[in-house]
């Protein structure tokens, strides 16, 4: 059993660092090459593990969860954060692409330009920063000249209009959502009846959390 636990710990650590060495793009972009590498990596890692019965399987699960929690705790330490999680990489700075950071992150120029276009900025000069985060996601920060003007920019105060809370989905009342807006089934039935509609007819209904106005959609075009 000690040997079994030792194998789990060793292989978990090896796979964790192997994925870490593969870079941030393997975590988020998942190109065919990234996906194939991860599948092979995991398969090769678990193949040597031989599980003898349900008890050993349960112990194995507990060991993996314990290692995961331990690694998560250790990664919170500033000294270990860079080792386990990594640091963000600045791929674009003031509209200029950093080839060195692209090469270092193994992030292709084609993928970068595609991500920027998807974000709605076809011109690289409109971008102030593009940061590749440790989890593989891209943070795209546009130049101030192309940022959409909002009421905040014009110092205009806006009134909160509320958000719709789903209270009926496919004819079924969402009781937990009604409680969030301090309403109950009796109130909902009354509002539905007031509109001359049967609950079974409702495909989707929502209530605004500010003025408690009811929106009903029967799901028919």
DSSP code for 139: E
Q: Which CATH number fits domain 164-217: 3.30.240.20, 3.30.210.10, 2.40.50.100, 3.20.20.70?
A: 3.30.240.20
Q: Please state, in angstroms and rounded to a whole number, the distance separating the CA atoms of residues 34 and 168.
A: 42
Q: Please state, in angstroms and rounded to a whole number, the distance separating the CA atoms of residues 35 and 41.
A: 10
Contact (CB, 8 A) for 142 and 126: yes
Contact (CB, 8 A) for 105 and 89: yes
Q: Which two tokens stand for residue 159?
A: 């009134």
Q: What is the pLDDT of residues 161-202, one digit of tens each?
A: 889 999 999 889 999 999 999 999 999 999 999 999 998 889
Mean of the per-residue pLDDT values for the chain? 80
Q: Counting Cβ atoms within 10 Å, is residue 77 exposed (0-12), middle (13-18) or buried (19+)?
A: exposed
Same fold yes or no, 89-146 and 164-217: yes
Q: What is the pLDDT of residues 65-77, one digit of tens each?
A: 888 788 777 766 6
Q: What is the pLDDT of residues 23-63, one digit of tens each?
A: 655 555 555 666 667 777 777 777 777 777 777 788 877 88
Which long-range contacts link 82-85 to residues 24+ away (Cβ below 8 Å)?
Answer: 84/16, 84/20, 85/134
- Phi then psi dihedrals of residue 129, to 5 deg: -140, 145
Across the chain, the runs of DSSP E, i.e. the strands, are: 89-93, 96-97, 127-132, 138-142, 164-169, 172-173, 204-208, 214-217
Q: CA–CA distance from 119 to each of 89, 99, 116, 138, 199 (Å)?
A: 18, 21, 5, 10, 41
Q: Where are the domains of the chain?
A: 2-84, 89-146, 164-217
E strand or H helix that includes residue 2: helix 2-22
Counting residues of the chain whose pLDDT is more than 70, the rounded percentage is 83
Q: Where are the alpha helices (DSSP H) in 85-135?
A: 99-105, 109-118
CATH code at 89-146: 3.30.240.20
Q: What is the pLDDT of residues 124-169, one digit of tens each?
A: 888 899 998 877 788 888 887 777 777 777 788 878 888 999 999 9
Percent helix, strand, coil in the chain (nearest 5)? 50, 15, 35
């Amino acid at each position: 059993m000690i040997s079994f636990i030792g194998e789990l710990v060793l292989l978990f650590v090896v796979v964790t660092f192997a994925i870490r060495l593969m870079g941030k793009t393997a975590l988020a972009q998942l190109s065919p090459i990234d996906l194939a590498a991860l599948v092979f990596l995991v398969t090769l890692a678990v193949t040597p593990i031989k599980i003898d019965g349900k008890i050993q399987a349960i112990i194995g699960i507990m060991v993996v969860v314990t290692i995961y929690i331990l690694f998560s705790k250790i990664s919170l330490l500033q000294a270990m954060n860079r080792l386990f999680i990594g640091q963000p990489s600045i791929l674009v700075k003031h509209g200029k692409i950093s080839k060195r950071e692209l090469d270092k992150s193994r992030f292709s120029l084609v993928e970068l330009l595609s991500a920027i276009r998807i974000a709605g900025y076809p011109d690289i000069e409109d971008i102030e920063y593009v940061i590749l985060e440790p989890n593989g996601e891209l943070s795209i920060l546009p130049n101030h000249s192309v940022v959409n003007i909002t009421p905040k920019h014009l110092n205009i105060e806006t009134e909160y209009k509320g958000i719709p809370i789903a209270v009926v989905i496919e004819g079924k009342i969402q009781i937990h959502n009604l409680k969030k807006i301090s309403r109950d089934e009796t109130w909902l039935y009354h509002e539905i009846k007031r509109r001359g509609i049967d609950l079974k007819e409702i495909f989707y209904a929502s209530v605004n959390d500010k003025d408690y106005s009811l929106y009903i959609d029967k799901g028919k075009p």
